[in-house]
A and B are shown apart, each in its own frame.
Chain A
Amino acid sequence: MANIISDETIEYVGILAKLELSGEEKEQAKKDMGSMLDYIDKLGELDTEGVEPMSHVFPVKNVFREDIVTNEDVRDEILKNAPGEKNGMFTVPRTFE
């Protein structure tokens, strides 16, 4: 494996992803991430000199909607997707900034 993931990196990625990993899981994640990066590195072998970066595979551009209200109040339906509900709102674990 060409890409070696350090303990600090996996710790940091865990924080960003809000995941708490056990020691065993960390080791596995380091291996997985290393092999993923190796795989991606294959792309580096290609000569991309002069090739514009592409973000979309389809030759589609300028898809717009007009500024007209088309949606009605479907709160009851939407709230069915919520993990919990109170006073017409989604309940989530207590969060402070």
Chain B
Amino acid sequence: MAKQYETVIGLEVHVELATKTKIFCGCSTAFGGEPNTHTCPVCTGMPGSLPVLNKQVLEYAVAVGLATNCTITQYCKFDRKNYFYPDNPQNYQISQLYLPICRNGKVEIETEKGKKYIGIHEIHMEEDAGKLIHDEWDDCSLVDFNRSGVPLIEIVSEPDMRSAEEVIAYLEKLRMTIQYLGASDCKLQEGSMRADVNLSIREVGAEEFGTRTEMKNLNSFKAIARAIEGERERQIDLLEAGEKVIQETRRWDDNKGESYAMRSKEDAQDYRYFPDPDLVPIVLDDAFLDQIRAKQPEFREEKMLRYKEEFDIPEYDIQIITGSKHMADIFEETVALGSQPKKVSNWLMVETLRLLKENNMDPEDIRFSPENLAKLISLTDAKAINSSVAKEVFEVMFDQNVDPEKYVEEKGLKTVNDEGALRKTVEEVIANNPQSVEDYRNGKEKAIGFLVGQTMKAMKGKADPGMINKLLKELL
């Protein structure tokens, strides 16, 4: 029988923190500025410049650590990691090796196989590097330092995962936790969350780990799943052929579905880490930790439980709505304004999800306000507009966050509640469609639908279908 192999996976996850300024200087972190317009002597590594830690970075890092059950290092320091690369202007990256801010955490994940804890070895704070662009014309490379000094936390897991499914559940868990904290938007595609996969294989039952490789350039959950499968098979093929796995960093090419070696893995001491003398130690007292603890939000799991108790909406809706902090906020605020939970949920689950998908947007990009959604719901509750008009208004609201009351007023979309006018139109429709009238009288119930449609058309959509139905039945 062929040998059975087990995959052992640990992750290094970099998360770009949602601060306004860089980690050690007052430059903006805004994305998409002209090259080098968000730079200063500190983040371009000029001699004599002095880095000073952004307090918000520390607070976010501690908040993430507490949320992932870590022990916070109350005496913590920064170290220099030395290496030469043109996107790193100081020739060292300011990071943490000896005393990282958070250690020994764990998070619970759930897959089809059940619940399981994934250990977190450590979380440290560090700075991002600049961006290199290769110039085809001049045979040189160009450097944009706008991203240099953008704050990152690196979350290093224990090698506790055994499948792509577990890896994705773990990443989802981290993403939800960090998004709920507001510490980052965690978008893989845009690079605000980056995952490097450390993977080795061993025979089922073996105690020792195999030699691992590190896989980079994974920017979607699908790419991660494919890279894990690809690397597992590559390593199995090597072992089966009697060869060895080499410890190295590999780059995944998702288009080709294969990876290639980037460099053999440097040992930690090659980076010649040493304490950064420019940055003074950070000493955190219990009061500081309590302060951060007090500010922790209600996380997704707690929210799901509360929704189940408080609102009469399906489990599936709860999952989708709480899958985005922003969407959950909109839901709760709209309900707080007096709208019925089921109706709010429906607008989010049906029309909102449809428009997000059509526009290739994330729930975080939703722009309409809870106030306007509440107004739209009360307009339909009061039968001031019918459901198809409501959908039309919603689309405009989704796009431009218009006030639905004003919009309906301005565009004259209000349902005509004047029974006299409606009755007159219904009479005309009956007179003009003798065939359908006869069909209906002969027992063809469906014929009434056509007559409702004709009336609605004559009313330019501004009528309540229930009322038309009632009048038709009465007059027929």
Contact = CB atoms under 8 A, between A and B. Distances in A.
Contacts of A84: 140
Interface stretch (A2-10, A29-37, A38-46, A53-61): A53-61
A48 interface: no
B230 interface: no
Interface of A is mostly: loop
A79 B36 contact: yes
B143 A74 contact: no
Interface of B: 19-21, 25-28, 34-41, 44, 46, 52-58, 77, 84-86, 132-135, 138-145, 262-263, 270, 272, 275, 277, 279-283
A78 B40 contact: yes
Contact of B26 (A16, A71, A92): A71
B20 A71 contact: no
A95 B85 CA distance: 8
Given A81-B46, A87-B35, A67 B84 contact: no
Given A66-B55, A94-B139, A73 B282 contact: no
A64 B54 contact: yes
A91 B138 contact: yes
Interface of A: 16, 18, 55-56, 58, 60-71, 73-75, 78-79, 81, 84, 86-97
A13 to B, nearest CB: 10
Nearest to B216: A97
Nearest to B284: A62
Given A55-B275, A56-B277, A87-B35, A69 B134 contact: no
Nearest to A86: B142
B20 A89 contact: no
Contacts of A63: 52-53, 279-280
A77 to B, nearest CB: 9
Given A62-B283, A64-B55, A97 B263 contact: yes
